[in-house]
Structure 1
Amino acid sequence: MKKTGAVAALATLSLLATACGGTSDGPSGKAAAGGTFSFALSADPGALDPAMGILGVTNTTLSLAYDTLVAYAPDGKLLPRLAEKWDVKPDSVTFTLRKDVTCSDGSKLTPSDVAENVRHIADPATQSPVYGVLVPAGMKAEADDAAGTVTLSTPQPFSFILESTTLMFVVCGKGLKDRSSIAHASSGSGPYTLTEAVPSDHYTFKLREDYVWGPGGAATKGSGMPEKVVLKVVPNEQTAANMLISGDLNGAIVYGADRKRLEATPGMGKTIASAGNGQFFYHQGDDRPAKDPAVRKALTQAINLPELAGIASSGTGRPATGLVGDPKPCQGDSVTGHVPAFDPAASAAALDAAGWKAGADGVRVKDGKRLSLRLLYITTKGAATQAANEYLAQSWKKAGVEVTLNGVIDTKLSESLNAAQDWDVVWLPIGVTLPTQLVGFLSGPAAPKGANFAHLSNQRYSELVAEAVTKPGEEGCKLWSQAESALFEASDLVPAVDTTMLIAKRNATFDMVAGTFVPTSIRMTEAG
């Protein structure tokens, strides 16, 4: 597994769990003739090989050209896609594929194609960041082309073996034989084909008019289906909002202050959806102050989390209830009652007891070393994220901590987390759809040898996870919840808020699930 890619995965998985289960208010207007649908990406998607691309914006892009075996509906239910039916066992799932699916080059999709995708991802030589995150570690695939089936299995029972396939994009046709050919092109069975890729500017897709195997049997024929989709790279939210209002965009995701004016714009459709957790991690390396659990707890007690939640979400967030976003495979609340409460006096007393005494300038010192924290965060998540990290810095400075803010763009975050490790606390949104997708980041070998970027070592979490992964249904969900609570009780990470976002729509309607398009739902509408 490519470790830097794995950390990049976590850093940007915040978009994987968006746009499901939200409230929607669609734009007015009748269906318009097919044309061009334009959508803003907050960053360049990078390499477009599904085995290598794990950024949230990458999956948004891939969802136009590639299919998965099954798909989530907007209400969280699983729908047939490439597979028309499936048989689930504790350690395997057998899919029966549709017989009418073709790749963009005209070749027929076979069970062997699906199996080859899994084998390629699992091959150590591939160094796929998807492996162990979106594709379970140890997964194997066996195809029976005559029967039209493919069986995916794991070495031991795996509680989410079916759900894990909802973000497993299937490459077919020429792309299977030459993976280098799809770094900036597409070779999939999806409803659109990538025809032009201009990195950091735009990506253009053309409609496949013969497509009839979308989620639940959806097709591309129908009034208002756009003939082209153009994904424009627009890193600045204010610019994206201006383009929406002027009609230069049909859709965009907005987190920050521009939400209000977009929602107030006549004719603007909107969906308010979960955008994943706003939370922070402590680096627990041997030379870091947060190695000491008493220090982690004291630092957490110095933060008024409800106040931080309001700042981080610009007042649009909801209380965090766990680490997994919508659509949730497990319900419940692993947060409430398990995070140290705001108590500045207790925080100060605990730091004193841990040997960190206030110096002449107010900064705490122990054995001649100042209590210093380097606070890392992504700058592309809007002004609220900036304000939240400034609030954290101010709160810790009041507690006698020297804090240095370090804002970086998405692509630099992976380097800081894994290679340079030049941080002590990181504000890192998470929006995964399965608790198993986090295990390698929250336990196991520490960076740079492993994906455990924060050097966490929570024995109770690891023990509960080892049991939970083998248990199906409600029994497994209870254990997953307890495992998350163990992290919070140890202040390994601190969930602050379940953030929301605005999916704005102008002269178009469309659905997004888990950060990806439902391409057959895209419809152009007449200007209102």
Structure 2
Amino acid sequence: MRRLSPGRRRAPAVLATATAMSLALFAAAACSPAGGGSPSSGSASKLTLQFTGPPISLNPALGGNGLSTMYTALAYDPLIYLSGDGKLVPDLATEWHYVGEGNKVFELTLRQGVKFTDGSPLTADAAVASMNYFLKAGGGLVSNAGPIDSITAAAPDKVRVTYKSANPDAAMTMTQYYGIGSIIGPKGLADPQSLLTTSDGTGQYVYNGKTSVANSRYDYDKNPAYFNPSAQMFGGVSIRVIGDAQAVLSATQTGQVQFAAGSSATVDAAKQANLTVLSAPFFNWNLILADAAGTVSKPLGDVRVRQAIAYALDRKGLANALGGQYAGPSTQVLLPGLDGYVPEAGYTYDLAKAKSLMAEAGYPDGFPLTVLTESVIDRNTTYSQAIVDALGAIGIKATLHVEATGIGQFSGDALSKQYAAIIFPSAGTDLFQVHNQISAGLFNPFGHKDEQLDTTLAQAFAADGAERTRLYQQASQRYQDLAWYVPVFSTENLLYVSPKLDNVKTSELNPNPMPVAPTPELAWRNK
């Protein structure tokens, strides 16, 4: 067996470039500043966080990830904790390892003496029940968990996960950002609807639906039964829903919130206000040419048209105009420094070649195209409008269909197969993570497949070291040739932290840190 040491992750080296990406975030609906009040920011025992919109769901099997993980991470411990600096740390699991070779069987040993808020103990059977529920619940993170064949209790304190094919990132998928490792108690599983008004986890806090105000404020009370009280740094936590960038800055400046998602539009003002500004590489923004068979838009069924679109975008110009120093051009599904990135490959800006390919495919004058986007992550659809405007240079008359009510509805629209093209960011620190995201769900609503790509990836996922990197690079090149996804630019995640808050850390491997941690050394605290 190969044992993976806690604190080390099987992942690419830390990126040397300023442009990269990390864990995926699916936000919820954007809102303007919310009323309803919040715990006093001056209280040393309380922490108030900001998030752009309400949760996709308070049920961790149905929730989102990235920064929206805060809605579930406060109440539900993961099997393995990912720290702000990117280390894998024991949480509900104290150790883990692969069984045998080939990265297909993964086993975790559970912590003893842990109880759910319903009073029942954490056992292998309880964990298995929660993980199997996650697989069947219909949440948006299922594809990120890997190709799971079965989850069983190998012993009263051991959980065994068997995969249909190799999963080189099994430990990472058990962290707080992937859903499957956030364990729900038996009472919650018996009545999943109850998880929308209360919580049944083992986490540091318990959701209080009675004092919370939907779409405005979400309150969490301290869990008196938490297994490590020394790690509980706050008497309670609230999450305020604030969507407008200026309102977020104001709330952080005035102490209404102590932690918030920042914006390149307000970052200079945040620095002048003496807020701590943290940044880390995050999103890779894509024009997803989902209808690769030409079902809705016949021209996209021709690879030459898809490649023409890829050549028509001035990525450097778009990145500079839209993100300044916090954005960079992206030419591949992976960003520079990630395992599988191919130096000197990727689509460059070549308008003459783009026009030639369009003419060769029989569309010298372009064609109309409706592109689905959202205004939650892409606030005011600034990014999306710039991308579709650029397509006019090769005659494509693109119009945006904007979903403003939330990522859940946006995802539903994408899966409806009514839209041939979609704009949305991907994220991941290696090709296994990125492929799991872009091969399913809203990134691939028409279900296109490529045998050559699938064969190469299957070999890569079972390999290690230099051989895996070589195969990842082959797969990256194949993604480029297919032109299903047209990367445009990458953006960094910006976070604003109150000067009164300490120990908040972020990194390329985790640009979305959480306030709770299984040890006091890793947890946020007041200064």
d(CA) in 1 for partners of 2:412, 2:26 = 21
Task: State the partner residue of 2:214.
Answer: 199
Pairing 1:25-424 to 2, within 5 Å after superposition? 34-54=44-64, 56=66, 58-89=68-99, 90-123=103-136, 126-134=137-145, 136-145=147-156, 148-166=157-175, 167=178, 168-196=181-209, 197-209=212-224, 211-213=226-228, 219-221=230-232, 225-266=233-274, 268-283=275-290, 284-287=292-295, 288=297, 289-320=299-330, 323=333, 331-332=338-339, 334=341, 336-358=343-365, 364=366, 371-382=367-378, 386-409=381-404, 410-419=407-416, 421-422=418-419, 424=420
**Structure 1 runs of 4+ with >6 Å offset:** none
Offset from partner CA, 1:258-285 (integer Å, 9 cap, x none)? 122112212x122112222122211324
d(CA) in 1 for partners of 2:511, 2:224 = 25
Offset from partner CA, 1:460-506 (integer Å, 9 cap, x none)? 32221222232244433432343133112332212222310211012
Q: Does 1:500 align with 2:492?
A: yes
Offset from partner CA, 1:59-86 (integer Å, 9 cap, x none)? 2211111111112223322211111122
Taking structure 1 as reference, are residues 382 and 508 closer, same or farther at Cα in structure 2, changes over 3 Å only?
farther
Offset from partner CA, 1:167-218 (integer Å, 9 cap, x none)? 32111252133222213321111111111343211110112355344xxxx8
Contact conserved, 2:339 with 2:431, CA < 8 A, in 1? no
Task: State the partner residue of 1:430.
Answer: 426
Task: State the partner residue of 1:488.
Answer: 480
How does the TM-score come out when normalised to structure 1?
Answer: 0.80
Taking structure 1 as reference, are residues 401 and 46 closer, same or farther at Cα in structure 2, changes over 3 Å only?
closer
1:15 to partner: Cα distance: 2.0
d(CA) in 2 for partners of 1:279, 1:435 = 16
User: Which amino acid is 1:228 matched to?
Assistant: G
| Number of residue-to-residue matches in the alignment | 469
User: Which amino acid is 1:524 matched to?
Assistant: N
User: Which amino acid is 1:252 matched to?
Assistant: A
User: Which amino acid is 1:142 matched to?
Assistant: A
User: Which amino acid is 1:257 matched to?
Assistant: A
User: Which amino acid is 1:498 matched to?
Assistant: S
Percentage of pairs with the same residue: 20
Contact conserved, 2:59 with 2:192, CA < 8 A, in 1? yes
d(CA) in 2 for partners of 1:504, 1:150 = 38
d(CA) in 2 for partners of 1:335, 1:373 = 31
1:114 to partner: Cα distance: 1.0
RMSD value over aligned CA atoms?
Answer: 3.0
Contact conserved, 2:331 with 2:488, CA < 8 A, in 1? no
User: Which amino acid is 2:98 matched to?
Assistant: V
Task: State the partner residue of 1:522.
Answer: 524
SS at match of 1:132: helix
d(CA) in 1 for partners of 2:197, 2:430 = 29
d(CA) in 1 for partners of 2:195, 2:454 = 38
Taking structure 1 as reference, are residues 156 and 466 closer, same or farther at Cα in structure 2, changes over 3 Å only?
closer
1:323 to partner: Cα distance: 4.4
- Structure 1's unaligned 5+ residue stretches are 1-11, 18-31, 359-363, 365-370
Taking structure 1 as reference, are residues 301 and 136 closer, same or farther at Cα in structure 2, changes over 3 Å only?
same
Taking structure 1 as reference, are residues 285 and 511 closer, same or farther at Cα in structure 2, changes over 3 Å only?
same
d(CA) in 1 for partners of 2:392, 2:141 = 39
SS at match of 1:389: helix
SS at match of 2:230: coil
d(CA) in 2 for partners of 1:55, 1:84 = 23
How does the TM-score come out when normalised to structure 2?
Answer: 0.80
User: Which amino acid is 1:204 matched to?
Assistant: D
Contact conserved, 2:294 with 2:302, CA < 8 A, in 1? no
User: Which amino acid is 1:231 matched to?
Assistant: I
Taking structure 1 as reference, are residues 489 and 408 closer, same or farther at Cα in structure 2, changes over 3 Å only?
same
Contact conserved, 1:313 with 1:497, CA < 8 A, in 2? no
Contact conserved, 2:107 with 2:159, CA < 8 A, in 1? yes
d(CA) in 1 for partners of 2:217, 2:469 = 41
- Structure 2's unaligned 5+ residue stretches are 1-21, 28-41, 518-522
